[in-house]
Homo-oligomer: A and B are copies of this chain.
Amino acid sequence: MTFPERVTLVEVGPRDGLQNEPQPVSADTRIALVDRLAAAGLPVVEAGAFVSPRWVPQMADSDAVLTGITPRPGVRYPVLVPNTKGLDKALASGAREIAVFAAASETFSKKNINASIAESLERFAPVMEQARANGVAVRGYVSCVLGCPYEGAIAPEQVAWVAERLMELGCYEVSLGDTIGVGTPLKARRLVETVGARVPVEKLAAHFHDTYGQALANLVTVLDQGIATVDTAVAGLGGCPYAPGAAGNVATEDVLYMLDGMGIATGADLHAVAAIGRWISEQLDRPIASQAGKALVARACTA
């Protein structure tokens, strides 16, 4: 096996994580969270989403978050944007990078945003154009890449098609999301093989959820394929609200523990991130959903 020397961690806790927490978190706490994560050495911190607060109340006040943070030189703060209306607001709040999202499952796309995959991609065209005109970089997300709650298995070719379209539309990178965490190593490997035949692997990111505890096993197999960008969430934020105790995004602490142990550079400080994970979990009054986070906190307490 061969592994990249360096991995870029994309911290999605303040957005993908908090968006799935049952209780909305105040803008002040989200500002503190984003600033602390950047201070801990994370190079990319997803700061919010400019979506309707009627649909996603957890992401209300993303403008206040984006204008309230203290940007660190060299750190990127992307925000999720579904349409030109969201982009206008993001630009007004000073966003320099955005992310758009599509699904690899037709049923999921229809249920989630009431549009087919092709329709959702068409809607991005004006967003991409306006982003380009404003010099704003665009990241693409594809959800359900290793399985869909409605359709079950998803063909890797279908994911490859969506990923390729996002690149053609102007995304600089496509993040492959195992939204429901059902992937296992061989399936993850087959996915990256298939998508990698259409989009260069260095333009792909792995966005794995730890619902069934598989995220790190999947990650290690795709790192071996050249994947060098990994989405993570501090404290494993984003567990399914309908499954108490179930994990969400793979925890930044667990990934960092693994990469540190493998001698793969990230620039982030594990102990600083674990302390942030403890703090935000206390704010949310929920257990830390990171094994490494729990173990490090326990060790710090008994040392």
* Interface positions of A (Cβ within 8 A of B): 1, 3, 181-187, 189, 210-214, 216-217, 219-221, 224, 240, 242-247, 251, 254, 257-258, 260-263, 287-288, 290-292, 294-295, 298-299, 302
Of all chain B residues, the one with the shortest Cβ separation from A185 is B220
Min CB–CB distance A55 → chain B (angstroms): 22
Report B-chain residues with C-beta under 8 Å of the C-beta of A260. Answer: 184
Known: A185-B262, A224-B1. A257 touches B295 (CB 8 A): no
With A and B bound together, what is the CA distance between A261 and B214 in angstroms?
10
Task: Report which of B213, B257, B261, B292 forms a contact with A186, defined as CB distance below 8 A.
Answer: B261
Of all chain B residues, the one with the shortest Cβ separation from A180 is B295
Listed A/B pairs (6) with beta-carbon separation below 8 Å: A213-B292, A214-B292, A216-B216, A217-B258, A243-B299, A243-B302
Task: Report which of B187, B246, B302 forms a contact with A291, defined as CB distance below 8 A.
Answer: B246
Known: A212-B254, A214-B216. A294 touches B245 (CB 8 A): yes
**Given contact pairs A184-B262, A216-B217, A247-B291, a sample of 11 additional A-B residue pairs in the complex whose CB atoms are under 8 Å apart:** A184-B258, A184-B261, A186-B262, A212-B295, A214-B291, A216-B216, A217-B220, A220-B221, A243-B295, A243-B299, A245-B298
